[in-house]
Structure 1
Amino acid sequence: MKHYTLPVSSSTVHWGYFSKRVEPRLTLKSGDRATIETLTHHANDDHERMIAGDPGAQSVFEWTREHKAVSRRGAGPTEGPFRLGAGEGVGVHLLTGPVAIEGAEPGDVLEVRILDVRPRPSCSACHAGKCFGSNVAASWGFQYHDLIEEPKPREVVTIFELDTSGEPYARAVYNYVWTPQTDPDGIVHATIDYPGVQVDHRLVTKRENILPDIRVPARLHFGTMGVAPAEADYVSSIPPSYTGGNIDDWRIGRGATMYYPVAVEGALFSVGDPHAAQGDSELGGTAIETSLTGDFEFILHKKADLEGTLLEGLTHPLLETDQQWSVYGFTFPNYLAELGTNAQVEVAQHASLDKAMRDAFRKLRRLLMTVHGLSEDEAIALMSVAADFGVTQVVDANWGVHGSIRKEVFKNYKKR
């Protein structure tokens, strides 16, 4: 076993997409470990606290009229003309990688163990050592067209500080209503419609003493994590799918294990969208978007060895913790294959929790029948009385429902 380190820089991240065309930034063997740094794409909501003085973050977010460190930001084209910027409109998350796994082939399963997660401290002289994140009540949030106070609609950015001196928690520092921002290329952003735009704090009004004395328990996790899909060269980071991606489940943190079906040679694992805390549904549009570093272990399971194991017949992401297994249902299990050439744009027009619940039910039924040897009637009975289904997210175009079953249910069970 070897241990590698993959720091963030403009040459180790790709912004807003998964891709089978991006050259690996690291190549590992099964059983190897890696420390991987990740950045939040919302760091420029407060440049002073989350970027200033940090060489890695500065190298990624550098954007002047003369130079843009990471030009492609999304799964769109790189050649203009553009209204917002290269890759505009389809994909937003900063992802570190890809990491290739030697010998990985379509049909295999990649196991990713999250051994540890820790926040990235501010390097700013005024805030050195402290950790910060941004939450956005955004135009893509569930609430946006259902507001009761003026002005409406509106997008609101709330900056949180993460206290890690004991049991970690977050507290709100201030918020502001998004006002039009002009990027270095002269494009005006009336809404939060392109990732990495630096907010000019001279143009916003900070409101302090918000959420006074409220402590939000920290649940450090990675909102977007997975392997490269096979269906397209560049795939938006926003809708989750059969290879993982933007699942946005706060349970995908320290101690969790994720399993992903391999779709392309090398698997090409990427991770990002780091979160300090998030509730089920991610209702307003984001979690507390922060920057994190994770320690990961990668184990490759070959297709020929899957029969009779937990991974037999696995065609979707699967979470395992010490306490439970969880499957993820989506409006479309594989929207890229189901919706055709315009899938990445059209998927948001069809978002449905009904379909996501149906998909989660089918996936958990398969797990209980295949892995645990239950009949269909036994599986359905058990799901109704012992499984927990919840809304994972309603903001990622391909809406999600997670279905979980606790391991203690099978403590005395022997597969027939």
Structure 2
Amino acid sequence: MCSNCDYTIHGRHFHYGWNRDNPPAERVAPSSTVFFECHDSSGGQLTAGSTLADVSSLDFGKINPVTGPIFVEGAKPGDALKVTIEEFKPSGFGWTANIPGFGLLADQFKEPALQLWTYDPATMQPAAFGSHGKVPLKPFAGTIGCAPAEPGQHSIVPPRRVGGNLDIRDLSAGTVLYLPVEVAGGLFSVGDTHAAQGDGEVCGTAIESPMNVVLKLDLVKDARLKTPRFTTPGPVTRHLDAKGYEVTTGIGADLMEGARAAVADMIELLAARYNIAPVDAYMLVSTCGDLRISEIVDMPNWVVSFYFPRCVFE
């Protein structure tokens, strides 16, 4: 729990989709600090005892539950919700899965796969991958946002102009996020917590990990934001930079195909060098490898690069 928080939102207050008519779990004043109990993206369907059969039987109607919503007093359409991400309280358990039909290379990896993780929630030392790999950790909330103005139920899966399933690794402790408000009170929710993720989350999952989150919710009146924006407290890749990177590239006229090529080449490199199954390499790079647009002006071809941190295996 959080002794310095103004409110606690227990895990039983969750919902599966965005809806402006969802009743608020709590009404809070601006500048309130709120403790959220958050679920992982499977909503507890995958646990430390799970097997491949559990991946195949996932109920997608129960994916990405988010805790909330929170009605922030005085929030009106046109304002921005200022979210200061103060602290994460990790659980020590996580999972990564290849889910058939999902992910950047779904056409190449058609069978389910599952990696279960344990880590020390106190020290947050890198989590072991196999016998000699270690993935540096950086907790964040994958889904964080407000309710959209459009009536009805909206899927939690795609990100939206009011936030949602952003999967931005740098929404970590110390970051300040600004979200457009489209409905009275904002109706803010958060969940889908991760212990680590690469930029791109290429296999569709990261180290999915239930954990609790402490956030300060405030208002910026008449901000007129079109989409979310955020400010980080400092460098964003210190947990990965120490020993440099292996980098593959994709070059061509289509950024998506370039991204696919860069990731596929990295999987091939890692599988051969470290004698691991390609699907395991695919899940691994999703947790710590970064997709970057290196060049987008030298028509007709653009360059996408994929950075894999050497510290994982060195």
TM-score by length of 1: 0.52
Quote the offset at 1:253 in angstroms: 1.2
Quote the offset at 1:232 in angstroms: 3.0
Change (3 A) 1:97 1:167: closer
Q: Equivalent residue of 1:258, what SS?
A: strand
Quote the offset at 1:318 in angstroms: 0.4
Instruction: Indicate which of 185, 191, 197 corresponds to 1:278.
Output: 197
Aligned length, in residue pairs: 233
Quote the offset at 1:103 in angstroms: 1.0
Quote the offset at 1:113 in angstroms: 0.5
Change (3 A) 1:2 1:283: closer
Contact 1:91 1:237 in 2 (8 A): no
Contact 1:91 1:238 in 2 (8 A): no
Change (3 A) 1:47 1:14: farther
Q: CA RMSD in A?
A: 2.7
Q: Equivalent residue of 1:27, what SS?
A: strand
- Please give the per-residue CA displacement for 1:277-332, whole angstroms capped at 9, x wherever unaligned: 100111111011111111110111111xx4xxxxxx4210001112389xxxxxxx
Quote the offset at 1:215 in angstroms: 1.0
1:234-253 maps to which residues of 2 (within 5 A)? 234-253=153-172
2-side partners of 1:2 and 1:158: how far apart?
A: 35
Look up the equivalent residue of 1:315 and give its one-letter code.
K
Rg comparison, structure with higher value: 1
User: Could you say which residue in structure 1 is the equivalent of 2:79?
Assistant: 108
User: Could you say which residue in structure 2 is the equivalent of 1:158?
Assistant: 115
Instruction: Indicate which of 106, 114, 121 corresponds to 1:144.
Output: 106
Q: Equivalent residue of 1:268, what SS?
A: strand
- Please give the per-residue CA displacement for 1:55-78, whole angstroms capped at 9, x wherever unaligned: xxxxxxxxxxxxxxxxxxxxxxxx
Quote the offset at 1:41 in angstroms: 3.5
User: Could you say which residue in structure 1 is the equivalent of 2:251?
Assistant: none
1:91-102 maps to which residues of 2 (within 5 A)? 92-102=63-73
Q: Equivalent residue of 1:163, what SS?
A: coil
Q: Does 1:132 align with 2:93?
A: yes
Q: Equivalent residue of 1:46, what SS?
A: coil
Contact 2:87 2:173 in 1 (8 A): yes
- Please give the per-residue CA displacement for 1:56-114, whole angstroms capped at 9, x wherever unaligned: xxxxxxxxxxxxxxxxxxxxxxxxxxxx99xx867721100001100111001110001
Contact 2:10 2:36 in 1 (8 A): yes
User: Could you say which residue in structure 2 is the equivalent of 1:73?
Assistant: none
Contact 2:5 2:35 in 1 (8 A): no
2-side partners of 1:216 and 1:237: how far apart?
A: 28
Q: Does 1:316 align with 2:227?
A: yes
Q: Equivalent residue of 2:186, what SS?
A: coil
User: Could you say which residue in structure 1 is the equivalent of 2:36?
Assistant: 36
Consecutive unaligned residues of structure 1, counting only runs of 5 or more, are: 50-83, 121-130, 148-152, 173-210, 307-312, 326-351, 355-388, 392-400, 402-416
User: Could you say which residue in structure 2 is the equivalent of 1:13?
Assistant: 14
Contact 1:18 1:270 in 2 (8 A): no
User: Could you say which residue in structure 2 is the equivalent of 1:207?
Assistant: none
User: Could you say which residue in structure 1 is the equivalent of 2:88?
Assistant: 117
Instruction: Indicate which of 121, 127, 134 corresponds to 1:170.
Output: 127
2-side partners of 1:295 and 1:249: how far apart?
A: 17
Look up the equivalent residue of 1:110 and give its one-letter code.
L
User: Could you say which residue in structure 2 is the equivalent of 1:3?
Assistant: 6
- Please give the per-residue CA displacement for 1:100-136, whole angstroms capped at 9, x wherever unaligned: 100111001110001001113xxxxxxxxxx211101
2-side partners of 1:278 and 1:166: how far apart?
A: 18
Q: Equivalent residue of 2:119, what SS?
A: strand
Look up the equivalent residue of 2:111 and give its one-letter code.
R
Larger RCO (CA under 8 A, 6+ residues apart): 2
Q: Does 1:228 align with 2:228?
A: no
